[in-house]
Amino acid sequence: MNEDGGYIMKWFIITSAAAAIIVLSAAGFFVVHFMDNTTKKSDGGMMKASESVVQFKENQVGPEEDMFVEETISEAHVLLNDITGYGDHTKYSKVNNNIDAYEENWEDISLHLEKYSTLALEAAETIEDATLRKDVENFAALAWYAQETYNYDALLYSHRVIHDLDVAFNNENKARFWNSVNIALDEGESTNNSEKVEEIVEKVEMDQ
């Protein structure tokens, strides 16, 4: 190969590598800043579901109520994915919106959140296992508080709890896990996410 050909080949390799780095960096930026599954495990955030200790226990609910609990969790997860996924959660933050758009965005989802908060409470009444029942009640409290007060944190954590419940209870195959539910933790154990959930739930109870 002549010198000009060698130069062109080197230039092509260098520019191709640079373009690949730019694309990967942009993709990483998008994931970190726009998905509601961003925090690292060291921050108490998401971890690989395969790393979790979630195991569905038999007889956590009565056989007749099992389907109702399963469907409620699954449908609520679909709803919260639609609301918070792919950066849409930013629509419910005062920081990112003017006041008119902010209030209109919340009005669009409030009835849906209230509906699944009510259904979750009904489902919780059929659950025999106290730990699982508390996790479902936590979701109900977070979803209710989010729509009642337009609370952005409550909305985010309602999604994280229902995501984890869908993985744990319905054995939903998800690549990630928030570690925000008590059934995934050993007795006395906690994570940043589970502690934040309890913090918001305590606020809900005090404000009622």
**How is the chain split into domains, by residue range?**
1-34, 41-207
Helix (H) or strand (E) holding 48: strand 47-48
- Cβ-count burial 161-176 (b if 16+ within 10 Å, e if not): bbbbbbbbbeebebeb
pLDDT tens string 139-184 = 999 999 999 999 999 999 999 999 999 988 887 766 688 989 998 8
The arithmetic mean of pLDDT across residues 15-34, rounded, is: 45
pTM: 0.73
